[in-house]
Structure 1
Amino acid sequence: MKKPAILLAGSLICFIIGGFSYKDSNELEDPPIIKQKQELELKKSQIKNEFHSVDIKIQTKEEENLKGIEPAAIKIPSLGIEAPVGKVGVLENGAMGVPDDNESAGWFEPGIKPGEKGSSVIAGHVDSKAGPAVFFYLKDLVKGDAVIVTAQDGLSYTFEVQQLKSYPYDRAPISEVFGPSDERRLNLITCTGTYNRKTNTHEERLVVYTVLKSGQEDKAETLVVPPPPEHVKISGGLLTWHAVRSGEISGYRIYSSTENGDFIHAASISSHERKSMVIDNEEATSFYITAVSSSGNESKPSEIVTK
């Protein structure tokens, strides 16, 4: 992941990001979470046995980095805030992009996704010439308040406020705001303090530090279903399809038709093998394929193809 520099953009933030290396570590967990993880690991083990050619080292590394989400909306119940979230990055001049309007928030897309280990960042305006903006009341948050981010597919994560800190706009601790963490953090940023007409920005930046609420670490893995394979074709006795690029896919299941019109599981192909299968069953005339994630979730059937 490229670690760009963030400079002043409008009246939002003025942070410069250095290079960081991210690492994982074990976390303390409550008994219910341990049971949930054990059940998930059993399911993963079954998937590994089915798709036996998956490289275990690669798979283990993928499991350590649990899925995050691309936030589409943010909700802060204690403040009555509900707003859409767009993606912001780095502009050509090196400045961090800002939300398109004062009622939207912006997730720093080059960084960490909410739900992953590390510090994800969402920023929003505090005010405008027209009055208060989306994060105007952010300063009223207190420890324990909930911040909920939701993806386009409906998957959501709840974070808990830990602390609020204000920094001079040009001297914020970048490693704390954007840097690595063994926890799954979401940091909210907005302006605060007096507006300086000479610098065309507020004197300070308010950062709300939040951490993922306990018990949600495996939520994305257990709920997210991969999309079905596309471009399924039969040519010269060979069934082919395109790989699914979304999420961690362990493999694919091929289903073939029977005489009574039903479909049965005919074969399993690892994601590390060629996306093809020789059709050696003369009685089967139709086929469809599903994708299976590393946590055992199976996609909807692909389009049905016929010989």
Structure 2
Amino acid sequence: MKKIILLGISSVICFILAGYSYGLFPTQLSSTDTSPKKAEQTTVQTENAAAGADGSERPLNEFTLLKAEVKKLIEAQKRETAQMKGIIPATVEIPSINVNASIEQVGILDNGQMGVPEDINNVGWFEPGVKPGSRGSAVLAGHVDSKTGPAIFFDLKKVKEGDEIIVKDQNGTALTFIVKKQESYERSSAPIDEIFQTSEGQYLNLITCTGTFDRSAGTHEERLVVFAELKKEKKPAKDVPPPPPDTVEVNGTFVTWHAVREDTVAGYRVYRGDKNGENFEQIASISALERKSFMDEKAAEHTYYVTTVDAFGQESEPSEIAAVN
């Protein structure tokens, strides 16, 4: 990891906003240049195998992976990759305060100051530091106001614990961060080691000015910092079979059931037994996008159960046995 040592009387990094400055004092910042590779996935049939979201081989089944299912698996894989390596941020959204802004990369100017977004309604990402999603704390900073009025982070003080911050790269890969807290600090006493740390966690910190404007100093008296943590994506349960469908019924010549509401469901298998509920054999495979029903002209002479099959080739336990009432 490349390290940048900032030397000077106070090792000062200033973030200039509309003529005002953040007096931040990091002594060591870091950078990584890795970026997530584009995930690839193909639609395959029963006899093939494909990589799962964790990179392992997974068997498939008689169900062709539908386009929507493939997309979900691809997106899950991309997010997982991004969470390990970080992304180069292009936009940031904070739905709770209606922020949707482009991100500019900023660095350290020749005078030792931290660069600023050229547009007061853009947000600056400190590019020599941590990428969103990488280990440590990525830092985004924005203007609170200008000589003409409110700027992009004017309402940043209104965000609350639990609010979401969504950062996307230019390819649309999105990482969601959850707000944990916000703190205000006197401009000369911001906890730089905490805000710019590179040693643990996957965090995102947002900075802007707050407090009374000190005309003699030409800046606000305080700095507002919003601390957020990466939301962990729920991985598909590769080693846990899906649940069986419920409400399996036989009405006339139709066997019906309710869909299982999980993203990785590929389809269902219908099994038929004798009237005593024994000697079951599979008689049909129904895709997840088809009607949850199967027609059997001799339904009155048999019993049935249905299982769920997921995209990893895992099959559920049998449903309750159903027969014509």
Q: TM-score category by the smaller chain?
A: 0.5 to 0.7
Question: Partner amino acid for 1:71?
Answer: P
Aligned to 2:27: 18
Q: Which structure exhibits the higher relative contact order, with contacts defined as CA atoms closer than 8 Å and separated by 6 or more residues? A: 1
| CA positional deviation for 1:154 | 0.8
Q: Give, in whole Å, the separation in 2 of the partners of 1:89 and 1:21.
A: 12
Change (3 A) 1:142 1:178: same
Correspondence 1:86-101 to 2 at 5 A: 86-101=104-119
As a proportion of its length, which structure holds more helix?
1
| CA positional deviation for 1:12 | 4.4
1:79-105 Cα offsets, whole Å, 9 max, x none, are 011111000100000000011121000
8 Å Cα contact 2:30/2:129 also seen in 1: no
Aligned to 2:3: 2
Question: Partner amino acid for 2:56?
Answer: L
Q: TM-score, normalised by structure 1?
A: 0.56
Correspondence 1:86-165 to 2 at 5 A: 86-165=104-183
1:32-53 Cα offsets, whole Å, 9 max, x none, are xxxxx9851425xxxxxxxxxx
Q: Give, in whole Å, the separation in 1 of the partners of 2:97 and 2:14.
A: 29
8 Å Cα contact 1:165/1:206 also seen in 2: yes
Q: Give, in whole Å, the separation in 2 of the partners of 1:80 and 1:158.
A: 15
Report the secondary structure of 1:139's partner residue: helix
Q: Give, in whole Å, the separation in 2 of the partners of 1:87 and 1:128.
A: 20
Aligned to 1:42: 56
The answer to whether residue 85 in structure 2 is matched with residue 78 in structure 1 is no
Change (3 A) 1:131 1:120: same
Change (3 A) 1:132 1:39: closer
| CA positional deviation for 1:214 | 1.5
Change (3 A) 1:74 1:21: closer
Which of the numbers 231, 239, 244 marks the counterpart of 1:213? 231
Q: Give, in whole Å, the separation in 1 of the partners of 2:30 and 2:156.
A: 30
Q: Give, in whole Å, the separation in 2 of the partners of 1:88 and 1:157.
A: 20
Q: Give, in whole Å, the separation in 2 of the partners of 1:125 and 1:161.
A: 19
8 Å Cα contact 1:188/1:209 also seen in 2: yes
1:40-78 Cα offsets, whole Å, 9 max, x none, are 1425xxxxxxxxxxxxxxxxxxx9x92111111110001
Question: Partner amino acid for 1:170?
Answer: S
| Identity percentage of aligned residues | 47
User: Deviating runs (4+, > 3 A) in structure 1?
Assistant: none
The answer to whether residue 209 in structure 2 is matched with residue 191 in structure 1 is yes
Q: Give, in whole Å, the separation in 2 of the partners of 1:7 and 1:193.
A: 17
Question: Partner amino acid for 2:28?
Answer: G
Change (3 A) 1:147 1:21: closer
- How many equivalent pairs are there? 186
| CA positional deviation for 1:180 | 2.5
Change (3 A) 1:95 1:158: same
8 Å Cα contact 2:126/2:140 also seen in 1: yes
Q: TM-score, normalised by structure 2?
A: 0.53
1:135-160 Cα offsets, whole Å, 9 max, x none, are 00000000000000111111111000
What RMSD in Å do the two structures reach over aligned CA positions? 2.7
Report the secondary structure of 1:7's partner residue: strand
Question: Partner amino acid for 2:54?
Answer: L
